[in-house]
Amino acid sequence: GENVEQHPSTLSVQEGDSAVIKCTYSDSASNYFPWYKQELGKRPQLIIDIRSNVGEKKDQRIAVTLNKTAKHFSLHITETQPEDSAVYFCAASTGGFKTIFGAGTRLFVKA
């Protein structure tokens, strides 16, 4: 079955710097890659997603890239702010109802 590895598990950056979180997946049939943000004590919420027919997608300070050949996808946050501090989860799906999540990255943005 699908397996998603996520790195790093913890990331600390200075306010204004960029943050990059990387994920790899095992099933080459995966075609949908969402990213969720979970603030402390709150629910995971979708922040951006990408489908396998697209190599890159951007939404303001957030961008996601996908390399299908290498089975890698990454989240890039530019100009980080303290409110970006949260746990970020990558995920992959081959369609259907099964979405497989990575273990999460705890991002700290220091003011």
Partner 1 sequence: ETGVTQTPRHLVMGMTNKKSLKCEQHLGHNAMYWYKQSAKKPLELMFVYSLEERVENNSVPSRFSPECPNSSHLFLHLHTLQPEDSALYLCASSQDQAGSLNSPLHFGNGTRLTVT
Two structure tokens written together for 16: 């204004």
108 touches partner 1 (CB under 8 A): no
Euclidean distance between CA atoms 99 and 93, whole angstroms: 5
29 touches partner 1 (CB under 8 A): no
36 touches partner 1 (CB under 8 A): yes
To partner 1, the closest distance from the beta carbon of 7 in angstroms equals 13
Euclidean distance between CA atoms 24 and 110, whole angstroms: 27
Cβ atoms < 10 Å from Cβ of 100: 17
2 touches partner 1 (CB under 8 A): no
Sites for partner 1 among residues 65-84 (CB under 8 A): none
97 touches partner 1 (CB under 8 A): yes
To partner 1, the closest distance from the beta carbon of 79 in angstroms equals 25
